[in-house]
């Protein structure tokens, strides 16, 4: 298991590239008042072409590689989160970057929507972390995702989140 992630470098990098996204996962749990460590940052990007181009550029600049298949030659993997046209296909990507591990999520269990970003956007909370603007999914959406995932950490998070 890798060390806990400090999300600030990734959040700052995404902000510098003007990427529009909503945080989900462990750091969203933190934002809702239940602090725990996480090994990666999970984000749902705005699916507009312009935003995906900014995201792809940010990922290239952070030297991102697919975390699960980094031993393969790039030609063996036709899809890459560093290309906007591949991001537009709506898949999920688990990446390792110079700034830490990042998961780009465009669909998740527990949220039935053709456009995950638009659905989360309706209840997203806005704030900032050390001057970095950050949007985080709402509590109801976070609970739905945790309930559907059902892994031990998700169930522990859900117990804490449902006590609110």
Structure confidence by residue, pLDDT tens digits, 27-80: 999 999 999 999 999 999 999 999 999 999 999 999 998 866 544 444 444 578
- Rounded distance between C-alpha atoms, residue 55 and residue 53, angstroms: 5
Please indicate, yes or no, if residue 60 is contained in any of the structural domains: yes
Q: What is the pLDDT of residue 164?
A: 67
Please indicate, yes or no, if residue 1 is contained in any of the structural domains: no
Please indicate, yes or no, if residue 61 is contained in any of the structural domains: yes
Q: What is the pLDDT of residue 72?
A: 45
Give, in order, the Cα–Cα distances in Å from 89 to each of 24, 48, 80, 109, 133: 20, 12, 11, 18, 27
Please indicate, yes or no, if residue 3 is contained in any of the structural domains: no
Q: What is the pLDDT of residue 76?
A: 42
Q: What are phi and psi of 97, to 5 degrees?
A: -125, 170
Number of domains into which the chain is organized: 1
Place of tokens 């060390």: 3
Q: Which residues contact 151 (CB under 8 A, 6 or more apart)?
A: none
Q: What is the pLDDT of residue 30?
A: 94
**pLDDT at 1 > cutoff 80:** no
C-alpha dihedral (102, 107, 112, 115), degrees to nearest 10? 100
The CATH number of whichever domain residue 59 belongs to comes to 3.30.460
| pLDDT tens-digit readout, 111-150 | 999 999 999 999 999 999 999 999 999 999 999 999 999 9
Please indicate, yes or no, if residue 151 is contained in any of the structural domains: yes
Q: What is the pLDDT of residue 128?
A: 92
Going by their DSSP bridges, the two strands 125-129 and 132-136 should be labelled as antiparallel
Please indicate, yes or no, if residue 19 is contained in any of the structural domains: yes
- Rounded distance between C-alpha atoms, residue 10 and residue 99, angstroms: 6
Q: What is the pLDDT of residue 104?
A: 96
Domain housing 115: 8-158
Q: What is the pLDDT of residue 2?
A: 55
Query: Which of these ranges, 15-19, 42-46, 120-124, 158-162, has the smallest mean pLDDT?
Result: 158-162
Burial of 132 (0-12, 13-18, 19+ CB in 10 A): middle
Please indicate, yes or no, if residue 84 is contained in any of the structural domains: yes
Please indicate, yes or no, if residue 114 is contained in any of the structural domains: yes
């Amino acid at each position: 298991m890798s060390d806990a992630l400090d999300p600030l470098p990734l959040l700052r990098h995404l902000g510098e590239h003007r990427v529009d996204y909503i945080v989900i996962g462990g750091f969203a749990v933190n934002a809702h008042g239940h602090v725990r460590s996480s090994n990666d940052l999970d984000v749902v990007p705005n699916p507009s072409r312009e935003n995906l181009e900014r995201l792809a550029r940010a990922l290239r600049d952070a030297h991102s590689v697919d975390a699960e298949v980094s031993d393969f030659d790039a030609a063996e993997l036709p899809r890459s989160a560093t290309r906007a046209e591949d991001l537009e296909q709506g898949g999920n990507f688990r990446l390792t970057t110079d700034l830490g591990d990042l998961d780009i999520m465009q669909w998740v269990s527990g949220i039935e929507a053709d456009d995950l970003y638009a659905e989360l956007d309706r209840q997203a909370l806005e704030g900032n972390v050390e001057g970095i603007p950050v949007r985080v999914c709402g509590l109801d959406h976070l609970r739905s995702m945790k309930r559907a995932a059902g892994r031990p950490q998700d169930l522990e998070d859900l117990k804490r989140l449902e006590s609110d």
